[in-house]
Structure 1
């Protein structure tokens, strides 16, 4: 019996690119996959309506899930996954962007890899990026900061395949509401990746500016804020140890008479104040995180219905 596939595509005012993407899906997807695929377009409360009908789709059907308000890409993905988990029979669920930068042909690679490791979520890992130098430079910084603060490595985005056996687990991971790939890393659901090249945007202009990119990076780090807080505390203790060593060195210089009058006491008291401030702020952050962990969290599978306006079907 053939497997059922669902492709979730969150979009905001990207109707033109979406139609071009549907045409590329028709052309690039392997026929057995295409014929058993349903497209679920999650309309993130677009401010512009469709001016043209959807392009002809070679799969089963297109479903349009409209949201009551604009929530952003990550939350739209979480809602799409939750809706599929409850309403559609799907053996494999693919998540991809509407702008065409996630190449539809790479879905074939994701499916092939999923056959080899059926119990894992499969991500498309970027082998080559097409963005400008400035974006790539800050992306490298982001990856190093992410590893430094969380101890994890992130080399992928939203483009992924979720097997049916992991879908129900995934939609109960509260962290995917904030950041989809970060939430999967935090959840310890097993995942793998395949190397892909990022394609170029099909139409329109990207809505991601520098501020949006920074917020996206911080949201990925924030899903592992407990680990981040402890690492910051450990770093604060380490720096406090260095500060104490400097204070003893300053006192030694003062005792042997090599310190400039007033210099030792000024520098020593400054180091002591900075040390205490950094330690107390880090400790306060850790306690805030521990308090947060004791609270009830947003579960996408339970709460997503509050944001769904309606679902339309197009054959």
Structure 2
């Protein structure tokens, strides 16, 4: 079975933003508005208030962002081995995944999403918040499997959303290593040269642009189909049902989302219109008590 891949090579402005402390490109539509509206709108998408006559109780842009993060996680998988070999594109995917992560994880808590394709195991994605540093930086730990291959890593994310360090298990040797990211090095240098609030604003605008690109790659014309109670292995949840037609209208994508669960995704189905779903993903578990699997004492120097 051929794994779906995308040959998208992101070209970020973030490095130049961190180096200069300013944004060199024209702000996105979201950043031209007030700061509050920009945060709510999340990179130019319709706000919840714009999608219904009465403002609903849920934050639709935030829920849609959870699907974008899931899609970016799938796309990042094929870049992990390149990261092990020294490439940095994988780090840019992590930047988009965690820069807008605002769902209700508590320390030690995770989410396990299990996806089947045509009745066969396709993807298993477990993410957990395993530690919070004194400065607010957060350690996220990931174990992701796709068609029999598994990658494991932990990433330290600055409060601005920039990945600082990545600890990972080499798939070939099984050894664990740590790498300081190029984006992390740029941020550390920029913090010594520019006012923090100016830098935070510049990074926020860059996040908005990056998420807008990722959003357009994920969705076509998503619409709220209603609010439904859904039961999955992890439990029973009140959800917002979002439906979209992707692949030029050839595939119907249904998402059941809840801001009450870590990661927000409760269920996913994809099908050809009028047929049974070929892809089904469910929230399999919300595990607690997850510990860091990459302690300092177990790290080995990276091979040169």
TM-score range, shorter chain: under 0.3
Q: Mark the structure with the bigger radius of gyration.
A: 1
Structure richer in strand, relative to its length: 2
Structure richer in helix, relative to its length: 1
